């Protein structure tokens, strides 16, 4: 099983070394550009689109793509031919040799080229450093392609999920990919009467990262950028999450991971944040933000994490305030609940 080889290799010492080339005689599938392979949308997370490549009913690769300048996806990170790869739209020699720099630390890089794209082969140590990094520069001949590593952890985790699920979105053993609701409820309906909502709190349906002017600041990133409360339909439920400029949608947690959903509802108006609210009082004073797929209510909370304050969800099944950061869902035991 491919995932097992990833985990075993991940136990090796984390040192930057040139990734091994694809084995001699092995059929090579370059991510996104292999002849005869049909690309299909798998999911999206943190601004990256995840694609699967299928040939004769078999998935040959999965990759994450990001559009840096609005001219189409121009950086890809994926897994194919038992090899992690970076792909950039630059022409080069098939036997090129260059350099990969991550946060100022440079290593040698090599790979191949095809159809106007250059592919760099990387190993798990390089991938781990990229997941922890901020920026990368791939130098190929006279070209230096720089790109942000924002969202790479979440994106490459979904690539792993795509490979294990054989490209079938939401059918793998890992958490499913985002489900976009055509018109997510705001607030969601539950079995029983709709909770009372004061006039100064309401939900507004939005999409594409837009933030209603009536939304109140509910948290902040470490750099002070404000975060707002949103809720999005996902995998049969409606989950409270966080929203800010640049997210492209409502960021919610599910199954231990972080997902971006393009259609969502934004909470407008101001409530009162309270600490020390017992779970059994949430239905009386908490702001209802959604429900699990089984109908169990979810409420709006927030918690401090990594020098920021992040809105999230809390309910009978969460065990605490569930927030997301860096592609991962975290359960926090010191938190505040938004009350009516």
Each residue's pLDDT tens digit, 184-235: 334 333 333 333 444 368 899 988 888 998 899 999 999 999 999 999 998 8
- Are residues 328 and 312 in contact, defined by beta-carbon separation less than 8 angstroms? no
CATH of the domain at 61: 2.60.40
Each residue's pLDDT tens digit, 73-94: 579 999 988 889 999 999 998 8
> Looking at the domain assignment, is residue 174 inside a domain?
no
Q: Where are the beta strands (DSSP E) in 70-222?
A: 75-80, 83-88, 97-102, 105-114, 117-122, 135-140, 143-148, 201-207, 219-220
Does residue 22 register a pLDDT over 70? Answer: no
> Length of the chain in residues, anyone?
340
> Looking at the domain assignment, is residue 183 inside a domain?
no
Same domain, yes or no: 15 and 155: yes
- What is the reported pLDDT for 161? 85
Same domain, yes or no: 158 and 208: no
Regarding predicted confidence, which is higher, 168 or 157? Answer: 157
Each residue's pLDDT tens digit, 223-277: 999 999 999 998 889 999 999 988 888 999 998 888 888 889 999 988 899 998 8
Domain that holds residue 127: 2-164
pLDDT band for 71, please (50, 70, 90 cuts).
low
H or E element, residue 293: none
Residues 43-66 have a mean pLDDT of: 89
- What is the reported pLDDT for 178? 32
Same domain, yes or no: 160 and 283: no
Q: How far apart are CA 156 and CA 12, in angstroms?
A: 19
The total number of structural domains in the chain stands at 2
Same domain, yes or no: 46 and 154: yes
- What is the reported pLDDT for 3? 31
SS3 212: coil
Same domain, yes or no: 285 and 151: no
Same domain, yes or no: 153 and 269: no
pTM over 0.85: no
> Looking at the domain assignment, is residue 301 inside a domain?
yes
> Looking at the domain assignment, is residue 169 inside a domain?
no
Q: How far apart are CA 132 and CA 152, in angstroms?
A: 9
If you ran DSSP here, which 8-state letter would residue 239 be given?
Answer: E
> Looking at the domain assignment, is residue 217 inside a domain?
yes
Query: Across 32-36, 173-177, 214-218, which has the greatest mean pLDDT?
Result: 214-218
Q: How far apart are CA 44 and CA 163, in angstroms?
A: 15
Helices (H) then strands (E): counts for the chain: 4, 24
pLDDT band for 335, please (50, 70, 90 cuts).
very high
- What is the reported pLDDT for 270? 83
Same domain, yes or no: 158 and 209: no
Cα–Cα distances in angstroms (integers) from residue 7 to residues 11, 26, 120, 184, in the given order: 7, 22, 21, 37
Q: What sign does the CA torsion over 3, 127, 58, 25 have?
A: negative
Same domain, yes or no: 206 and 151: no
Each residue's pLDDT tens digit, 98-141: 899 999 988 888 888 988 899 998 887 788 889 888 899 999 98
Same domain, yes or no: 248 and 319: yes
């Amino acid at each position: 099983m491919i995932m097992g080889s990833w985990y075993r290799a991940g136990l090796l010492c984390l040192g930057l070394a040139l990734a091994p080339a694809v084995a001699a005689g092995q059929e090579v599938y370059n991510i996104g550009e292999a002849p005869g392979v049909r690309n299909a949308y798998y999911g999206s997370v943190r601004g990256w689109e995840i694609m699967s490549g299928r040939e004769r009913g078999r998935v040959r690769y999965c990759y994450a793509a990001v559009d840096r300048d609005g001219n189409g996806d121009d950086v890809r990170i994926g897994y194919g031919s038992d090899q992690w790869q970076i792909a950039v739209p630059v022409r080069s020699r098939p036997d090129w040799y260059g350099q990969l720099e991550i946060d100022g630390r440079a290593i040698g890089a090599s790979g191949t080229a095809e159809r106007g794209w250059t592919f760099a082969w990387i190993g798990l140590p390089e991938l781990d450093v990229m997941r922890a990094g901020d920026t990368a520069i791939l130098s190929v001949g006279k070209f230096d392609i720089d790109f942000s590593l924002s969202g790479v952890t979440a994106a490459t985790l979904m690539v792993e999920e795509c490979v294990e699920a054989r490209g079938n979105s939401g059918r793998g053993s890992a958490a499913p990919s985002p489900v976009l609701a055509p018109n997510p409820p705001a607030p969601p309906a539950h079995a029983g009467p709709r909770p009372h909502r004061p006039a100064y709190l309401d939900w507004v349906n939005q999409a594409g990262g837009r933030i209603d002017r009536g939304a109140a600041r509910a948290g902040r990133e470490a750099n002070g950028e404000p975060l707002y409360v949103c809720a999005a339909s996902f995998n049969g439920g409606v989950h409270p999450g966080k929203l800010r400029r640049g997210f492209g949608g409502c960021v919610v947690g599910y199954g231990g991971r972080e997902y971006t959903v393009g259609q969502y509802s934004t909470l407008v108006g101001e409530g009162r944040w309270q600490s020390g609210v017992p779970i059994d009082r949430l239905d009386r004073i908490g702001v209802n933000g959604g429900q699990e797929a089984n109908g169990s209510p979810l409420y709006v909370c927030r918690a401090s994490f990594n020098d920021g304050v992040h809105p999230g969800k809390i309910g009978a099944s969460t065990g605490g305030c569930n927030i997301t950061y860096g592609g991962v869902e975290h359960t926090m035991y010191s938190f505040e609940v938004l009350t009516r």
